[in-house]
Amino acid sequence: MVIETVSKPPLIAPIWMARLAIIICVLSFGNWFVFIPWKLDLIMLAKNDFGYILFLFGIGSICAMQLSSKVLIPHFGARALLPIGTVFFAIAVYLWATATSLPVFAIMALPVGVAFGVINPCSAFLTVQAEQETGKRLLTLHHACFSIGSLSGVVIGGLFAATGINPTYLFSYLMVVGISLGVSFYFISDTSIKKADKAPAKEKQKRFRLPNGDTLLFGAIAAVSMGTVGIILDWSALWLTRDIGVTLALGGLGIFAYNGAEIIARLFGAQIIKRFGERLIGSTALIFGCLTMIVATMSKELVFIIIAFFAFGLSSANFLPLLQGAAAKRHQEKASEIVTDIQTISFTGFLFGPPIVGLIAEYVSIAACLYVLCIVWMLSALIMRQYFSTAAASQT
| Domains, the chain, with CATH or none | 10-206 (1.20.1250.20), 209-396 (1.20.1250.20)
Angle between helices 102-134 and 335-363 (to 10 degrees): 130
Q: What CA–CA distances, in Å, run from 150 to 33, 56, 252, 375, 380?
A: 10, 21, 14, 25, 24
pTM above 0.85, yes or no: no
Residue 175: predicted pLDDT: 96
**DSSP character string of 50-78:** HHHHHHHHHHHHHHHHHHIIIIIHHHH-H
Angle between helices 12-34 and 36-43 (to 10 degrees): 50
Taking only the tens place, the pLDDT of each residue in 58-110 is 888 888 988 888 888 888 888 889 999 999 999 999 999 999 888 899 899 99
Taking only the tens place, the pLDDT of each residue in 234-269 is 678 778 888 888 876 577 788 888 888 988 998 898
The rounded percent of the chain whose pLDDT value lies above 90 is 31
Specify the higher pLDDT residue, 180 or 16: 180
Mean per-residue pLDDT over the chain, rounded:
82
* b/e sequence 25-39, b meaning 16+ C-beta within 10 Å: bbbbbbbbebbeeeb
Q: How far apart are CA 12 and CA 7, in angstroms?
A: 15
Residue 316: predicted pLDDT: 93
Residue 314: predicted pLDDT: 94
